[in-house]
Structure 1
Amino acid sequence: MADLHTPLLLIDTSTQVCSVAIASSAGVISQRVSYEGNSHAANVGLFVSEVLTDAKREGILPTAVAISSGPGSYTGLRIGSSIAKGICFGMGIPLIAVPTLEVIAEAARSIVGEDWLLCPMIDARRMEVYTAFFDSTGRALTDTVSAIIDADSFVEELKQHQILFVGNGTEKCRPFIKGANAHFVDEVIHPLAEYMFKPAFLRMQTSQYEDVAYWEPFYLKDFVATVAKNKVIH
C-alpha cells in the first residue's frame, strides 16, 4: 500500500490550461501553470523538468506519474500522454490515469453543500460538452457522455438536487440551464494538476496502474452526442 507521503508527479494538458505539479498528502511541493491556450507542446516538458528539479533539491523523487486522461483536447491529451509515458519508462515508475471531469469535481467539491451534485463540463463544440455527475465527495455517479445542451437539459435532476455546474463548458450552457437549484461560479474551475493528487493516490492504494505501453487517453470521439435530459439521478 502506498505511503501517505508518497510524492506523485501530476500532469494535465486536457484543456487550454497546461499544468504540472509534484505533490504528496502533505501538500504541493512544486507546480507550474500556463493559461495560454495551445502552449502545451512548448510548456509541458519544461514544466516537468522544473518541478522535478525543485523536488530533487528537497531530496524528493516521484514514485508514480498521474495523467489527466480526458476527455478534452485531442492534441493536448496526446502531448500529455506522450510525456507521461516517457517519464514512466525513463524512471521505471507506474502510470495512473485520472478522468479529467473527476479532477474538476475534486477542485470544486470544497464549495458545495453535502447533498449537492457536481456537474463538471468540458467544452467540446457548438452546444456540446463532455459531462458527468458527481456527488459532493467527488465520487462519479454517471458515466461520462458527450451531451448537447438545450432548454430541457438536466430538468429532472434539478427538480431533486442542488447542482453546481463548473468547468470551461458552463458559460455557453448557462443561458439554457434554469431554476433555483442550478448554481454557477463566476470563475472557470480548471482541471489543474494539483487537484489530481487525491484521486490519483486512491488509485495508487489499490494498484490501479495503467499499461504504459498500451494505454491511450479517453478521447470520447467515437461516442454519439446525446441530449442531456434523461440521466435522472434519484
Structure 2
Amino acid sequence: MSLILSIETAVSVCSVALHEEKGLVGLLELHQENVHAQKLMPAIKSLLDRAGLESGDLSAVAVSEGPGSYTGLRIGVSTAKGISFAHQIPLIAVGTLDALAFQVVDMVEPGSFVVPMIDARRMEVYSKVFDYGMKEKEGLRPVIIDEDSYATYLEKGKVYFCGDGSRKITEVIDHPNVRFLNVSNSAKSVGDLATEKFIQKDFVDIAYFEPNYLKEFRVLKSKKNPLAL
C-alpha cells in the first residue's frame, strides 16, 4: 500500500494531507497567517498520530512547488526534502495553481474555463488558464489585472476564478461571464495529483529541487537605516 504525505504552504494556509490508493486518509489545515515555521511539523505529527501511523510508514512526500509566498514555499519544500531524505522515499512536486484548479474541476460545466490565481504585488497575480477538463490553455505567468485581462476567454464562455488573487478581478472586470469559486489552496488536491504522479514515478531530485518562486526574491533595505537589510 502506498501512503503519500502532502504539504501545502504556498499561501497563508498551512495544510497537510495523507493519501493512499483509495483516496484521502486524513487532512489537517490551519488558516492562520505566518504559522508555517511553528506549526507545520506539529501538524504532520498530529495527522500521522490520528491515523495511527509513523513517518517511516510513508511511501512518498508531495509538496506544493509554487508559485506563492517565498517563506511559505521555502518552509514547505525544506520540510518535504528533510522527510524524503531521512526515510529515503521519493519527493513529488505539484504545481500550486494546478492543485488549486483541480479542486473545482467538478464544479464547472463544459465550455467554461478555470483560472486559478495567487495574489502577488499590487494588482498583479500569478495565474494559469485551464478548460473545464483541466487541459492547460495558458501556462503559468504573472498577470497585471486590468479591464481587458482574460477578455479572450470571457467572450467564449464562463470563466471561473479561484484562489486568493481572484478578489482583484472584482475591482476592475465587469463581465456577465465572470464567476467566482470560494476555494482555498489545500494539501488534499496536492495529494490527489501526487497520487497519479506516484503511479507514473514522476519524482524530483531531492538534492536539486527548488521551489518555483516565479520571481526572484528581493531583500529590501530599511528606509530608516540604509546600512541595514
8 Å contact 1:98–1:200 — kept in the other structure?
Answer: yes
8 Å contact 2:19–2:195 — kept in the other structure?
Answer: no
- Residue 142 of structure 2 corresponds to 146
| 1:113-158 CA-partner distances (Å, limit 9, x unpaired) | 1221100010001100000111223332221001100011111111
- Residue 220 of structure 2 corresponds to none
The number of equivalent residue pairs is 217
The 3-state SS of whatever aligns with 2:46 is helix
8 Å contact 2:113–2:130 — kept in the other structure?
Answer: yes
Distance in structure 2 (CA, Å) of the matches to 1:61 and 1:142:
38
- Residue 203 of structure 1 corresponds to 197
- Residue 219 of structure 1 corresponds to 213
Structure 2 counterpart of 1:8, one-letter code: I
8 Å contact 1:96–1:204 — kept in the other structure?
Answer: yes
2:176 to 180, 186, 195: 180
Structure 2 counterpart of 1:119, one-letter code: V
Structure 1 counterpart of 2:208, one-letter code: Y
Structure 2 stretches lacking a partner, 5+ long: 218-229
**Higher strand content, 1 or 2:** 2
Structural RMSD (CA): 1.9
8 Å contact 1:21–1:194 — kept in the other structure?
Answer: yes
Distance in structure 2 (CA, Å) of the matches to 1:59 and 1:48:
9
TM-score, length-normalised on structure 1?
A: 0.87
8 Å contact 1:24–1:197 — kept in the other structure?
Answer: no
8 Å contact 1:104–1:191 — kept in the other structure?
Answer: yes
TM-score, length-normalised on structure 2?
A: 0.89
8 Å contact 1:22–1:30 — kept in the other structure?
Answer: yes
8 Å contact 1:127–1:173 — kept in the other structure?
Answer: no
Distance in structure 2 (CA, Å) of the matches to 1:57 and 1:207:
23
Structure 2 counterpart of 1:194, one-letter code: K
8 Å contact 1:158–1:182 — kept in the other structure?
Answer: yes
8 Å contact 2:17–2:191 — kept in the other structure?
Answer: no
Within 5 Å, which residues of 2 pair with 1:1-234?
6-57=2-53, 61-185=57-181, 187=182, 189-222=183-216
Moved more, 46-55 or 11-20: 46-55
Moved more, 56-65 or 73-82: 56-65
Q: Higher Cα Rg: structure 1 or 2?
A: 2
